[in-house]
Amino acid sequence: MVNSTQLVDIKTILDQLLAEILNALGSKLKGLYLYGSLVWGDFDYGVSDIDLLAVTSDDLSDSDFNKLKRMHSEFAAKHPFWDNRIEVQYASSSGLKTFRTGSSKMAVISPGEPFHIIDAGNDWLANWYFVHDYGVTLFGPLPEQFIDPISQDEFIQAIYDHAFFWKAHVQKTKNSRPYQSYAVLALCRALYTMTFKRQVSKQNAADWAMTQSPEWADFIGEALYVRSHSGEVNQADADIAYPQTLRFVLEAIEKIKQLRG
């Protein structure tokens, strides 16, 4: 939970970030929307990322990209507590309208990665579902102005596809205990979503998964602990936990496959 003092700090950071984005993009910024754990209610003030979607009138120019890259670097230097914990997608309004049928260029800053350009398409459907249905408007019109309605069936299919993404991607967690915990909690939430056709916070999904699979309860509990104490783990912890992480991910995917039918 976030206390009142922390909420004031988060609001200040969001206000300052909005001002910096407007300074960089001017009228090209059409909307800014908060989603993720701050909206779901399981935000950990010391660990969680701030997730944002910034909608632009069209694709970023090289000048726009360089301004934003410099801005994010300077913002992190001014606010070290939030360094590597602010995730923003800069998507054009046209790209958001056509993501189901094709990809478009999207600038992204996310934890552990530099500011960069990616091709974003239907693989972002679950994110846009959350923005459309639950996003908090920080600037501009409501998010449905830019994102068309996304059905529950589309959302469930996206969660199913993302779960299978971990079958190969779990190998990339081998050297990172925090990333292993992220994978475990992501699969717990995918299991919950596939079971109940709705999504809850990682914390609630993990609590539920521990009751459903008592043989994994301790390991899921460790994942929750690591999520809040990532600075206390090291390479040896990752080496020890990887075999269990791999087994959990593969078992969870099989359960999800059975739930999908």
pTM above 0.85? yes
pLDDT of residue 176: 92
Residue 227: pLDDT band by 50, 70, 90 thresholds? confident
Contact 58, 92 (CB under 8 A): yes
Q: List the helix and strand counts (H, then E) for the chain.
A: 10, 6
pLDDT of residue 78: 97
Three-class secondary structure of residue 83 per DSSP: coil
- Residues 69-80 have pLDDT tens digits of 999 999 999 999
Report the relative pairing of strands 136-139 and 86-92 from DSSP bridges.
unpaired
Asked if residue 42 has pLDDT above 80, the reply is no
Residue 216, number of CB atoms within 10 A of its CB: 19
Q: How many whole angstroms separate alpha carbon 66 and alpha carbon 55?
A: 17
Residue 179: pLDDT band by 50, 70, 90 thresholds? very high
Asked if residue 115 has pLDDT above 70, the reply is yes
- Residues 54-66 have pLDDT tens digits of 999 999 999 999 9
pLDDT of residue 162: 92
Read off the tokens for 109.
Answer: 């800053």
Residue 72, number of CB atoms within 10 A of its CB: 21
Q: Tell me the domain boundaries of the chain.
A: 4-149, 153-260
| pLDDT, average across residues 117-146 | 97
- Residues 8-37 have pLDDT tens digits of 999 999 999 999 999 999 999 999 999 998
Average pLDDT, the chain: 94
- Residues 228-242 have pLDDT tens digits of 887 788 878 899 999
Name the CATH superfamily for 4-149: Beta Polymerase, domain 2 (3.30.460.10)
Residue 1: pLDDT band by 50, 70, 90 thresholds? low
Contacts 24+ apart (CB under 8 A), 44-48: 44/227, 44/228, 45/2, 45/3, 45/6, 45/10, 46/228, 47/85, 47/227, 47/228, 47/230, 48/85
Comparing 146-155, 175-184, 198-207, 216-225, which segment has the lowest mean pLDDT?
Answer: 198-207
H or E element at residue 51: strand 50-56
